[in-house]
Amino acid sequence: MRFDVVTLFPELFAPFLAHGITRRAFESHRVDVRLWQPRDFAEGNYRRVDDRPFGGGPGMVMMAEPLWRCLQAIRADRAEADDARAPVVLFSPIGDRLDHASVVRWSASSGAILICGRYEGVDQRFIDACVDQQISLGDFVLSGGEVAAMALLDAVARLQPGVLGDEGSHQQDSFNDAIDGLLDSPHYTRPEVWAGPGGPVAVPAVLLGGHHERIARHRREASLTLSACHRPELLTQARQKGWLDDQDEAFLQQNRTL
């Protein structure tokens, strides 16, 4: 798959693409990321890509023309690879919320063209004419779309075969609809007893016993507890989709305070 990223700050992506476990996906081009600087498509000595908003107001707005020229160059480059019709995605507060289900869909796609806005935003005329989909990370504002683009790329990359050290790792992630859509259970590692700031804290004994069924049940109940306390709507969804069995319901009934 191929993602073309339109950004005024391509240098932000260099360490992201070169480090961490997901670099395997980027280095192998299993997730092929190409960076495009819209200033390269702007006119004038200063390669200006932004201007003041009509009607007044604070800040600057990214101009439609440099973005359009950049998009045309990407389309031409993709046409050589018979992949000219990739969707154009803008990261924006009005976009659909990025969640696990949408990441799974993107991970099975052929990629997209990602527009990273800056300043007060992008000229609406470019959005109306060229953008196919808008994506939001949540109800907060970032300085630009680069962090959001990296979040999408990271989430997609880790779902590619061979990227994670353990192929089953992502299957246990929180929000995984292929399992149950609930929050993942807590995790522990050495030492067995940690001399923390509040005094010694031991790993739950059941995790040290080697009884796989008991361990699985402990983790299931911990997942149910976390979901009930922090994201109760996930339990509602799991019930509606038939992902909770009688043993799950009995546990929740016994712990009505959850």
Distance CA 26, CA 43 (A): 32
Residue 171 lies in a domain: no
Segments forming the whole domain that contains residue 191? 178-254
| pLDDT > 80? residue 174 | no
Task: Say how far apart CA 83 and CA 146 lie, in whole Å.
Answer: 23
Task: Check residues 80 and 3 and name the one with the higher pLDDT.
Answer: 3
What is the DSSP code string of 33-68? Answer: EEEE-GGGG--TTTT--EEPPTT--SS-EE-HHHHH
231 is annotated as an active-site residue? no
CA distances in angstroms from 151 to 101, 103, 157, 162, 208, listed in the order given: 14, 10, 10, 19, 35
Q: How far is CA 238 from CA 63, 183, 200, 220, in A?
A: 45, 11, 36, 13
Question: Do 235 and 203 have their domain in common?
Answer: yes
- What is the pLDDT confidence band of residue 164, given thresholds at 50, 70 and 90? confident
- Tell me the pLDDT tens digit for each residue of 16-52: 999 999 999 999 999 999 999 999 999 988 899 999 9
Confirm whether 198 is domain-assigned. yes
Please pick, among 15, 27, 43, 93, the residue that the annotation labels catalytic: 93
Domain count, the chain: 2
User: 128 with 185, same domain?
Assistant: no
Q: Provide the CATH number for the domain around residue 106.
A: 3.40.1280.10
Are 119 and 61 in contact by the 8 Å Cβ rule? The answer is yes
φ and ψ of 186, to 5 deg: -65, 155
116: in domain: yes
Q: Are 120 and 54 in contact (CB under 8 A)?
A: no
Are 142 and 201 part of one and the same domain? no
> Is 162 a member of any domain?
no
Residue 177 is predicted with a pLDDT of: 57
pLDDT at residue number 256? 83
Does residue 166 lie in a domain region?
Answer: no
Question: Do 113 and 37 share a structural domain?
Answer: yes
Using the 3D structure, point to which of 97, 126, 157 is the last residue of a domain. 157
Annotated active-site residue in 78, 158, 180, 219: 158
What residue type is 79 in one-letter code?
A
The one catalytic residue in 65, 120, 177, 184 is 120
Name the DSSP class of 118: B
Give me the percent of the chain exceeding a pLDDT of 90: 87
Mean pLDDT value of segment 93-101? 95
Residue 168 lies in a domain: no
- 127 and 238 share one domain: no
- Kindly state whether residues 13 and 73 are assigned to the same domain: yes
Same domain membership, residue 87 and residue 26: yes
Is there a domain that residue 190 lies in? yes
Catalytic residue among 173, 177, 184, 221: 173
Verify that 53 and 112 share a domain, yes or no: yes
Active site residue 120: yes
Whether 158 sits among the annotated catalytic residues: the reply is: yes
Whether a cis peptide bond, with omega within 30° of 0, leads into 191 is yes
Specify the pTM: 0.87
Task: Identify whether 167 is part of a domain.
Answer: no
Share of the chain above pLDDT 70, in %: 93
Question: Bridge-partner residues for 6, per DSSP?
Answer: 36, 115
256 is annotated as an active-site residue: no
CATH number of the domain at 183, please.
Answer: 1.10.1270.20
Of 126, 157, 188, the domain-final residue: 157
